Amino acid sequence: MKIGFIGLGIMGKPMARNLLKAGYEVVCYDIVAENVANTVAVGAKAAASCKAVAEQCPIVITMLPNSPHVKEAVLGPGGVLEGAKAGTILIDMSSIAPLASQEIAKACGAKGVKVIDAPVSGGEPKAIDGTLSIMVGGDENVFNSVKDILLRMGASAVHCGPIGAGNTTKLANQIVVACNIAACAEAFMLAKKAGVEPARVLDAIKGGLAGSTVMNAKVPMMLQGNFKPGFKIDLHIKDLANALDTGHGVGAPLPLTAAVMEMMQTLKADGCGQNDHSALAKYYAKVSGTNFS
């Protein structure tokens, strides 16, 4: 089976590679030629445009930064919709606004193209080892028809509801992750300022109720001062902006989300937008005058 893959960044590149490892033929496109060349080097075939990908593939996956990028790649000139046939399935694995997913699906549906939104959680490490958590919105029959493909990139794929439900679920996920990272930075700065070795605090509490995947992954990065991006501050700002917009639209209070957003905006202003989101530790270092490492 030919699968089109559009968007070969930090997440998309390893996801496409996992499809290749599973035996699928992958036709890829990215605006960055180097990303395409790297993916072609491990067995993919290159296409000249999003339209060209869709012309060749009955299933097209997009993995792009935000709503405008997906709209341009799918609905814009030379986009997926120009090359797709009735019956083509578009799997948008980007993390975008739920209303944007619905808008894209409506436009595609007019041509008989089926759309599901299937954003992921797990960052670059889980993209590499194929253990992402995938949350899906759209027609359940379409989801079931591509579930095996999704499970070549993820450890789980859960149908959450109609189109847009996947991205709503992802926004909930991103709120939990952002607040968890901020809470970890706050707690471990308390330990540091109080004269208790943060690494020992981590060993003491990670097996209890406070323990989490986020703590295990992000606190060691904070303590080492290693902010190489697995998921960038700039991208988390994008997700929290979508969460706040959605929350305002549906009347959901998001005061903690708003607080963490302001921390991330401070870091962006300080030139840290390309850091990993564990760099929330830098915010606490700044306001406390104390570094973790």
DSSP classification of residue 7: -
For residues 153 and 162, give the distance between their C-alpha atoms in angstroms, rounded to a whole number: 22
List the one residue out of 279, 100, 290 whose CA is nearest residue 260.
Answer: 279
First-to-last C-alpha distance (Å) of the chain: 49
Sequence-distant (≥ 6) Cβ neighbours of residue 258 within 8 angstroms: 244
Cβ atoms of 70 and 63 closer than 8 Å: no
User: Helix 98-109 to helix 165-193 angle, to the nearest 10 degrees?
Assistant: 160
List the one residue out of 237, 236, 243, 199 whose CA is nearest residue 219.
Answer: 199
For residues 77 and 290, give the distance between their C-alpha atoms in angstroms, rounded to a whole number: 51
Sequence-distant (≥ 6) Cβ neighbours of residue 86 within 8 angstroms: 111, 112, 113
- Which residue is associated with the tokens 């960055």? 32
Q: Distance from CA of residue 168 to its chain's centroid?
A: 13
Active site residue 170: yes
Cβ atoms of 191 and 197 closer than 8 Å: yes
Catalytic pick among 51, 114, 126, 170: 170
Which residue(s) pair with 106 in the sheet? none
DSSP classification of residue 84: -
Give the catalytic positions in this structure: 170
